Amino acid sequence: MHGFARARRFAAYLGVVVAAAASIATSSPEWSLDDSVDDLSTRLDTNAPQAAEHFTVASSEEHQVRVQGTLTWDEAQTEPQAAVRVRLESDDGEVTESTHRAPDDSRFELSLSPPCPDQSCELGYTVTLELVDGWPNEHVDIAWSLSAEIGGEGMEEPDGAFITVTQD
């Protein structure tokens, strides 16, 4: 009986190893290029409840744009009530947005992958950060970045592949 249990465990282990190897063998290699504008910071308060920044992404093909960040809520408030609406909009009208409420919701990430009109692609994006609700004089500090990426199948990127992000 003891030998049978050991043989079953070994067979199960061997099955997992074979499945893992098969998964690796059938995965296609992928390449990617990215660029970003990092270390952006914004403070929103009742005197300046909204901020917007515009970016241009130029790439050799369709790309994905991502805005992500961390919200630091006003520590002077014992019960912060603020919420921050984050909006990412392409110049051609695609929009995604989310709302984050103090004090529990402190990270955000939004992304867009709009179609490009031509083989090469240059599109503008606006990130809008807006303080909604909140107590008088409440504020929130936001550390954030905007990145863009292209990618595809293959060992390395095709000749002429590029992507750049510029804060306008």
The domain total for the chain is 1
Say if 8 falls within a structural domain: no
Phi, psi (rounded to 5 degrees) for 101: -110, 140
CA distance 36 to 39: 10
Residue by residue, pLDDT tens for the chain (168 residues) are 555 555 555 555 555 544 544 444 557 899 999 999 999 999 999 899 999 999 999 999 999 999 999 999 877 766 777 899 999 999 999 999 999 988 777 899 999 999 887 778 999 999 999 999 877 788 899 999 999 999 999 998 899 999 999 999
Range of the domain at 155: 30-167
* 8 Å CB contact between 111 and 68: no
* Token pair belonging to 33: 């290029």
Q: What's the predicted TM-score (pTM) here?
A: 0.80
What DSSP element (H or E) covers 11? helix 2-26
**Three-class DSSP category at 42:** strand
**CATH code of the domain containing 96:** 2.60.120.340
